[in-house]
Amino acid sequence: MHLTRRDFSKLTAMGITAELLSSKPAFPAQPSGKKVGYAIIGLGRIADLHMQGIHASPNSKVTALVSGHREKAEKYAAQYGIAASSIYSYETMDKLRANSAVDATYVCLPNSMHAEYTIRSAKAGKHVFCEKPMSTSVTDAEAMIAACKSANVKLMIGYRCHYETTNLAAIKLIRDGALGKVRSIQSAFGFNAGANEWRLSMPLAGGGPLMDVGIYCLNATRYLTGEEPAAFSAYSTNDPQDPRFNHPNSVEEDLVWTTKFPSGIVASCSTSYGANMQGYYRVYGSKGWLQVTEAFSYQGLHLTAEYERDAEKEADRTVHLDQLNPEKIPHQFVNEADHFSRCILTGQTPQSPGEEGLRDMQYIQQIYKSAGIKMA
Ligand code: NAD
């Protein structure tokens, strides 16, 4: 891989380095053999995947659980060989401080709880991996960063795609100039949300599909361009007949936004809780295009591209790429655990630190403002 110094500083600013852009598999175990111990806070769907990833990672292990459901915690404790004394409730989790088997926590709770549990983890002296979206407000995101700094612990936000092979390959193609001058990006990600999901409640979710899945499109437009947005324009709609979206605490149902980047690239993105939208992006440049479907999924990512290059024979001038990523669940979660554990063991800063989450919170705030939606 060849990166110019300018490329490298752009990628580093985006939390993506040459190490991650290499095609090598997950980071190797530390020579010391030390494994970072994690307490998982909130035992829902994403926590299950993270536990699989941590368990499969050579430098990480699950050593404690924090849950409001003792039975569920006992089931996972049996699965991962965790002592009963290392199961905590939300009320007792501050006792993690005294548990030397726990180096870090994984915060896998509804969005509005991320700030409280990140700050409590930091105060207990533990490094923190916090799921996206980092928080439900810019103020909370800033408080989380400050708490981790003051406790001298690391904070990583769960941006899976920063550690994912196909997304990194798309970035590399663009940085290598394969598409020429990038001009336009389209992206979408959404799903038809179940009626009783906490995601539909403004107090718990802090926002709708933009906070939950639209954030993938927002973040992708930033890592694909290597630029920070200059301006946003957004529209949102809710079906007034749909009981999921027509009460005072409801979140937005549909949201579309456009982003203008300093170089002149424009991106148009859509997200929804009312319709299934397979996550994808398309990038159009002066020499060609690329597309990734299932771009934000746990597996099945598919990159296609077509672009013109200099070649003597006309038949060699058009390049066609068609790459289906064979990596399976929990590969992406292993990558995240490997990376954070390595940062903890070696003193490195994570590729997706709190500051990266804060930037997205600032942009989400601007998008909501443009759409006329008031954040908490
Ligand atoms: P989930 O509903 O499956 O799990 C949430 C967990 O929080 C449950 O164990 C639940 O018992 C617990 N909880 C504690 N207090 C709660 C309360 N007051 N209301 C509801 N649940 C409560 O949710 P999830 O899909 O695992 O999402 C958790 C977080 O992970 C969210 O912030 C979400 O955005 C994020 N997430 C990230 C990814 C990713 O790929 N990075 C994927 C899905 C979810």
For the chain, strand residue ranges (E) read 36-41, 60-66, 87-88, 104-107, 127-130, 155-157, 182-190, 231-237, 254-260, 266-272, 277-285, 288-293, 302-308, 318-324
Q: What is the pLDDT of residue 31?
A: 53
d(CA 147, CA 158): 18
Token pair belonging to 161: 């795609």
> What pLDDT digit, counting tens, does each position of 168-205 carry?
999 999 999 999 999 999 999 999 999 999 999 999 99
Ligand 1 centroid to Cα of residue 211, in Å, is 13
Give the mutation target among 45, 49, 164, 213 for probing the ligand 1 site: most ligand atoms within 8 A of CB. Answer: 45
Q: Is the CB of 353 under 6 A from ligand 1?
A: no
Residue tagged 């809780």 (tokens): 273
DSSP, collapsed to helix, strand or coil, labels residue 256 as strand
d(CA 326, CA 94): 41
Q: Is the CB of 158 under 6 A from ligand 1?
A: yes
d(CA 126, CA 123): 7
Low-confidence ranges of the chain (pLDDT < 70): 1-32
> What pLDDT digit, counting tens, does each position of 288-347 carry?
999 999 999 999 999 999 999 999 899 899 999 999 999 999 999 999 999 999 999 999
DSSP, collapsed to helix, strand or coil, labels residue 252 as coil
Taking CA atoms, 44 is separated from 15, 106, 110, 115, 179, in Å, by: 27, 12, 10, 18, 40
Q: What is the pLDDT of residue 167?
A: 98
- The residue whose CA has the least distance to atom 4 of ligand 1 is 44
Task: Label the pairing between strands 60-66 and 36-41.
Answer: parallel
Q: What is the pLDDT of residue 17?
A: 44
Q: What is the pLDDT of residue 46?
A: 98
Q: Which of 365, 31, 341, 293 is nearest to 163 (CA)?
A: 341
Q: Is the CB of 335 under 6 A from ligand 1?
A: no
Q: Which of 324, 266, 267 is nearest to 294 (CA)?
A: 324
Q: Is the CB of 43 under 6 A from ligand 1?
A: yes
